[in-house]
Amino acid sequence: MEKKVENFIFDKNGITQHIVKYGVDIRPPVSAKQDRDKLQEYCNFLTDNYPQAFESLLIGPDRSIVQKTFVAGNDKRIEFPTFAMTPRGPIYTFPVRLFIEHVEDFDIADKSKIFRSAIEKFRATFAGRKIVRVGVVNEMIFDCGQTDSVQIVSNAISKRLWREGLRNIAIHLENPRDDKYNVNLDLAPAYAQQVVQSATGTMEKNVGFGVSVKVDINNQKMTDDLDKETIAAILAFAEDYVPEELVEFLNSEPE
């Protein structure tokens, strides 16, 4: 039996999956072909200095990726890309919590500190390039149990006729703050299928619901080369917003 949507409350303790990404926009871009040697040098710096986050290098004609192997409680090994060079710039990705048959915590200590050190080394390795944007993206799934997540997301819409009969929905919100930061939120239903053992001993499929919440926080102005202090301020704002202010926003009552 489904719970009433009105009773659902977003709770940070109900987050079953959480991934943090730090993305950087640079000018001019790094070329995987022309800057191959520097990219390899930089990736070696990551694996040598932060083996808890960066482990094995995959470098080719058009890509540079560093992976980390995480071991789950059931000894299952997860190959997770923690660094990638994109046409816009580098992306550093850190799993906080993953759902692998059940919730597994992989939180890497001092993620923000690792990123700040990594981006300063990047600046030194690729001299002459400007860092024009730094963004912090939190991708989370809030567990809804058997409450239909389509209805939870659509409950944000005030018009009843718009909500009725919906099978899917995605909401994008842009909420700039203090004339400094962009706060972009994307909400959508999510589903997870588990194979569980019933009371009679048979294996049954169990479908659970969730709400996918993506929060992208970055600087608005993109003309200057961002210094260490400005980058630190962006990271501090993002850490203050997620999860406390985010959860408060998600649970806000309609006027």
Q: What is the pLDDT of residues 84-95, one digit of tens each?
A: 999 999 999 999
Cα–Cα distances in Å, from 182 out to 115, 187, 248? 20, 16, 18
Last residue of a domain, one of 128, 152, 185: 128
Quote the Cα angle for 99-105-109, to 5°. Answer: 140
Pairwise CA distance, residues 253 & 201, whole Å: 43
Q: What is the mean pLDDT of the chain?
A: 91
Domain interval for residue 10: 1-16+138-221+230-247
- Residue 105 and residue 83 in one domain: yes
Alpha helices in the chain (DSSP H): 36-49, 111-125, 149-154, 160-163, 228-240, 246-250
Residue pair 3/151 in contact (Cβ under 8 Å)? The answer is no
Report the percent of the chain where pLDDT is more than 70.
Answer: 92
Residue 252 located in a structural domain: no
- Residue 148 and residue 236 in one domain: yes
pTM: predicted TM-score of the whole model, two decimal places: 0.91
pLDDT at 198 over 70: no
Rounded to an integer, the average pLDDT of 23-37 is: 93
Last residue of a domain, one of 128, 148, 173: 128
Q: For 222-243, b where at least 16 C-beta lie within 10 A, e where not — what string?
A: eeeebeeebbebbbebbbebbb
Residue 22 located in a structural domain: no
Residue 194 located in a structural domain: yes
Q: Is 145 in a helix, a strand, or coil? A: strand
Rounded to an integer, the average pLDDT of 113-125 is: 98
Residue pair 144/16 in contact (Cβ under 8 Å)? The answer is no
- Residue 1 and residue 72 in one domain: no
Residue 206 located in a structural domain: yes
Residue 38 located in a structural domain: yes
Residue 240 located in a structural domain: yes
Q: pLDDT band at residue 164, thresholds of 50, 70 and 90? A: confident
Pairwise CA distance, residues 30 & 63, whole Å: 11
pLDDT at 195 over 60: no
Task: Work out the number of other CB atoms within 10 angstroms of the CB of residue 212.
Answer: 18
Domain count, the chain: 2
Pairwise CA distance, residues 152 & 165, whole Å: 13
- Quick one: tokens of 134? 């730094």
